[in-house]
Amino acid sequence: MNPKYLLIISLFISFLSSNTFAEKTHGIAMHGNPKYEEGFAHLDYVNPDAPKGGSVRFGAYGAFDNLNRVAFKGSKAAGLGYINDTLMRRVWDEAFTLYGLIAEHVDMPEDRSSITFYINPKAKFHDGSSITRKDVLFSLEIFQTKGTPNQKKTYGKVVSTEMVGVNGIKMNFINNEDKELPLIVAGFLPIIPEKYYSNIDVTKTFLDIPLGSGPYQIESLEPGRQIKYQRVKDYWAKDLPVHKGQYNFDQIIYDYYKDSTVLVEAFKVGDYDYRREYNAKRWFSEYNFDAVSSGDVVLNEMKNDRPSGMNALVFNSRKDIFSNPRVRYALSFAYDHEWINKVLYNNAYVRTDSYFDNSPLASSGLPSLEELKILEPFKNELPTEIFTTTYAPPKTDGSGNPRENLRTAKKILEEEGWVVSDGKLMKDGKHFEFEFLIVSPSVERIALAFQKTLEVLGITMNVRTVDSSQYQARLLNYDFDMIKASWNVSLSPGNEQQFYYGSEVGKKEGSRNYAGVNSKVVNVLIEKLIGAQTREELTTAIHALDRVLLWGHYVIPLYHSNTDRIAYWDMFDFPETIPLYGIVIESWWIDQEKEKNLNR
């Protein structure tokens, strides 16, 4: 045979055997294979025969002034996620796996350099019009150009698209280093209708009821006070395996309260039906009311295996007063966790010592050999403690008078040029003074306890409480010295870490990089965890990132609980199986007989 033809055949065979082609599949997993096989009937943690009907009411704190899924200014109304479907749906009994929704099937090469979504021809918006590839492309481009800093960065990695066949849309990525990107696009990109959003300024907040495609649509609202959702009875995806047995309430209502104490009391008298309690002391001291004694209100505690994330007092390192990590470290000695946990919370909490606590993702001990391979190239840029010392937040004896800790804090501050003069901590003629911005009265007790200890060091911390709209506006522009904040994480951390700690997004308004982390090493580690091809690689990168963040002293870690505490009026039933991530309220339903017998 002519050598020319042999070469052509050889190249063609090589092309076919490459990763260019992939089989269509019903689901994709971050690592490994999806748990549920093609054609599965329903998820394991639902009751596929759960009855539909009834109304459920939730309480929400603060107010809202935005129904726009794109604009990141203002305060979005609770429950907006119910009105827009995504290309695929995430499930809660796997670390990070998605199954077909708007995209009936997908194909993705092994190197994850692209993904092709095949749109379900049954997919509809609430007005009955079809969800098309044009809507998918429009949604992608809108969030690439008008979304949050993190959305722009993440979706911006889709560098080109092409239409495939009758109903396919292929997205090509800038490279194949971000292994999570196909799942982020599949599960987190809200598909919004072009015909609605192309006629408005998507960067501005609005309170007009938008056109959606999800299991619920907005029925009515009182701006800032209440929003009511109605189940879409002819919802196009109600019988899909990922939705079977879910979204069972006919109505979901969120009532807003501007006072957290009133919010609790409203639940006690039956003004809303379900409450998740995050304050352990309140759980033990304020849930002994009559409805609990009579059995009309059920209290339930359930252990979880979710990473707790980081709940902390956050230094804004953009501010001169907190730009020095040694100064930030000194102030951590003034936070008396043991006394606060004992006096304010009845010792109900565990001190947090990792950004990924309560999970195998948390770093511990000294770096492993695999971690050292990542960290040692940056040894000159990192604190030596990362390599020599196991991180632990400062501890006290719980007496409320942490003398030894304050001596340590004073010593560190003096080393950084801060000295006490006439009872005030001074440097270069400036007093050490800052503002702790809070929005919830529940944070005030922590703030006042911290304030009292700081006074001993000659530091003035002013506590300022503002309403939720002011608070959100100031967070948007990082207009604060210190706040209390938390970052939630999953068992498969990825692109959201850029939004939390990435330098690039932290320089733009609207990110959650509240601390102003601006570290080349952090950026590299985030890229490594995003590009991890195995669970082992992911864990190693996260352990390394955890250490760098902890020893950067960007926050004072507070506490966490590995228990979900919920209270609800006894009108619900729910499946026996609780998935990996905990309670899934979408799988609950109302027992009409129980509801009739309630004494509110």
- Across 262-336, where does the E strand assignment appear? 274-276, 297-303, 310-315
The pLDDT of residue 416 is above 50: yes
The pLDDT of residue 176 is above 90: no
Neighbouring C-beta atoms of residue 110, cutoff 10 Å: 10
**Average pLDDT of 511-533?**
96
Torsion-angle region of residue 516: left (phi > 0), alpha (psi -120 to 50) or beta?
left
Distance, CA of 484 to CA of 507 (rounded, Å):
20
> Could you tell me the CA-to-CA distances from 287 to 188, 265, 296, 302, 585 in Å, in that order?
37, 10, 12, 16, 21
Q: Residue 555: is it exposed, middle or buried by C-beta count within 10 angstroms (0-12/13-18/19+)?
A: buried
> H or E segment at 590?
strand 589-590
- Given 3-state DSSP classes, what are the helix, strand and coil percentages for the chain, each rounded to the nearest 5? 30, 20, 45
List phi, psi (to 5°) of 505: -70, -30
- Quick one: how many helices (H) and strands (E) in the chain? 20, 26
Question: What is the percent of the chain where pLDDT is above 90?
Answer: 86
List phi, psi (to 5°) of 72: -100, 5
Distance, CA of 96 to CA of 90 (rounded, Å):
7
The amino acid at residue 271 is D
Pairing of the two strands 460-465 and 433-438: parallel
How confident is residue 150, by pLDDT bands cut at 50, 70 and 90?
confident
Higher pLDDT, 129 or 582: 129
Nearest to 474, CA basis, from 62, 66, 75: 75
- Is the torsion defined by CA of 90, 94, 100, 106 positive or negative? positive
> H or E segment at 229?
strand 226-231
- Are 188 and 87 a contacting pair, CB within 8 Å? no
Which of 266-275, 344-353, 539-548, 570-579 has the weakest average pLDDT?
344-353
The pLDDT of residue 428 is above 80: yes
The pLDDT of residue 14 is above 50: no
Quote the pLDDT of residue 15: 41
**Average pLDDT of 535-546?**
97
Beginning with the edge strand found earlier in the chain, give each strand of the sheet holding 158-164 in spatial order.
103-107, 114-119, 168-173, 158-164
- Are 599 and 296 a contacting pair, CB within 8 Å? yes
Which of 157-171, 210-224, 304-318, 388-402 has the weakest average pLDDT?
304-318
Distance, CA of 107 to CA of 369 (rounded, Å):
36
The pLDDT of residue 4 is above 80: no
- Across 165-209, where does the E strand assignment appear? 168-173
Q: CATH assignment of 310-560, given 3.10.105.10, 3.90.1300.10, 3.40.50.10310, 3.90.580.10?
A: 3.10.105.10
The pLDDT of residue 485 is above 90: yes
Distance, CA of 498 to CA of 35 (rounded, Å):
28
The amino acid at residue 209 is I
Range 245-266 burial, b when 16+ CB lie within 10 A, else e = bbbbbbebbbbbbeebeebbeb
Angle at 79 between CA 73 and CA 83, to 5 degrees: 95
Which of 9-23, 59-73, 357-371 has the weakest average pLDDT?
9-23
Q: Please tell me the pTM assigned to this model.
A: 0.80
- Are 41 and 241 a contacting pair, CB within 8 Å? yes
Q: Which residue reads 């926050």 in tokens?
A: 555
Distance, CA of 14 to CA of 525 (rounded, Å):
35
The pLDDT of residue 10 is above 90: no
Quote the pLDDT of residue 2: 55
**Average pLDDT of 571-590?**
94
Which of 166-180, 293-307, 354-368 has the weakest average pLDDT?
293-307
Quote the pLDDT of residue 265: 97
Mean pLDDT of all residues belonging to the chain: 93
Higher pLDDT, 583 or 100: 100
Distance, CA of 308 to CA of 302 (rounded, Å):
14
How confident is residue 345, by pLDDT bands cut at 50, 70 and 90?
confident
Distance, CA of 582 to CA of 573 (rounded, Å):
16
Quote the pLDDT of residue 22: 66
Q: Which residues contact 301 (CB under 8 A, 6 or more apart)?
A: 563, 564, 565
Nearest to 197, CA basis, from 64, 63, 65, 67: 67
Q: Which residues contact 545 (CB under 8 A, 6 or more apart)?
A: 355, 497, 522, 525, 526, 529
The pLDDT of residue 493 is above 60: yes
Quote the pLDDT of residue 181: 95
